[in-house]
Structure 1
Amino acid sequence: MGELSVATPIDTMELRALLSAAAGPVNFIGGGTDMLIAGRTMPTGGLLIDLSRMAGMAFISADDGGIRIGGATTVAAIAGHRGLATRLPALAEAAAQCGSVQIRNRATIGGNVANAAPAADLVPVLVAAKARLGCIGRDGASRELAICDYAPDRGYLIAEVILPGDGLLPCSAFVKLGPRQALSISRLNIALLAEFQDGRFGDVRMAAGALGPRPLRLPLAEASLAGKKLERAVLREFLSALAAEVDAAIPGRNSQVYKRRAIAGLGLDLVAQALGLSPRGQLFEDAAE
């Protein structure tokens, strides 16, 4: 294999030209928080494209329609963006819990998706929000993919993350469980987007990470809440549905029993947070018994 070449394009035109001319493997580096960790495989040949100087790839647009986030936008920028905190609180919360301050200041949303880690914190929110990815292929051409159709081995660069306005439900939340209180890789994380009015759920969308090789939608849990009133019996049905999701995702795994228990507590915290309620309220305490 030939030597590794490094290029640092300054705009999309230069980037597309590099991709079109590349004959061998192409890798991208944004914040580099995963690639530079000791023990990770580093590319030894082909072309490594450094995105750190790319104009126009770090932005957040959260107007009255949808949300668009540039692929090189840092996790810290997402965590601190007031418009996102209003339009999609779950994404801002997931970003705020992603790694350390130093990691958040370098890690990018495009890298969080492209790294394809089962426990990636931003991805369950994006899956639940029906995100689409604006990508640039090896031929330099643009294409748009549903996030669930994205595969890192196809060589696409994630130029932006697109959250359609019709997918942004008014209530949202994100919770995670890790081995310690801070700087923790998730052992389990869940995102919820929901409609809720007059004590009743409307549309509900949920996704969880660390239950499989990639974050999963939770259709049983969604169906247990959708169209239902917020009451003890419904929450108990919701907990049963969450346990069934774990059984379906990791049957026979050593962690199955642990995650069946863990997802119950996370699920109640998730619903309470999305609705602005206390998970220590009587309704949630009764449901947990």
Structure 2
Amino acid sequence: MNKIINRQGKALAIQVDGLDHAPVIIFSNSLGTDHHMWDEQAAYFKENYKVVRYDTRGHGQSDVIENSTLANLGEDVLDILDALNIAKAHFCGISMGGITGLWLGINAADRFESITVANSAAKIGQTEAWLTRADQVEKHGLADLVKTTHTRWFSNQFDYQHDALAQRTIQSLAATSTQGYAESCRALAYADMRDDLSQISTAMLVICGEKDPVTTIQDGVLIHSQVQNGQLATIDASHLSNIECPEEFSQIFTKFIS
């Protein structure tokens, strides 16, 4: 991986695959994961696109940054595009990456050919719950979350124990910086795009997991109903639908961006 320096002077780890002069896709990971959660999609798209993945601040090999906000998460995407001299890209984010996409659709629409928001919401969870989780993680670490994460990330029908990428993704949570995780929780606590969705005119695909207990179909329908140019798709999966159903996810995304 390479690193770029963002506008706050902090390092963000990036991985670039595919074709140099092809259309660009940038993938944004969920809370507690890293860029590897998009391995299947990177392999799928690199034959026809330039594929950019990155570790969200405080995750993977990217620096932990204190007092992070949703705006900071969006600005990191713009800083990556600028560092790579990319004028416009297709953005695809899941969960935390998805709400980052909503912020980008409002604040930097001119930088994106399209925005895909997967397994996300305009307001994810409750403020107090996020703040409590941040405090608990800082005090006690991530071990308890790691033990139960499969119940939120994957459905009962998915054999996550024998799926190499699923196991690697669970281990990425175990390896995530506790401070980095907590900072992201606090950013999500105050991230609320519900009143701004109608401003989004960029072509947007909303992907929902039919078995997602974290960000529900209703959350996706709300986004789709408010944005100006949206499409809605559902996948028979839980929260990390791109890992549980990688081929279906990639095919839906391909049809949308092409």
Common fold by TM > 0.5: no
Structure with the higher fraction of residues in helix conformation:
2
Instruction: Considering Cα pairs closer than 8 Å and 6+ residues apart, tell me whether 1 or 2 has the greater RCO.
Output: 2
TM-score (norm 2): 0.29
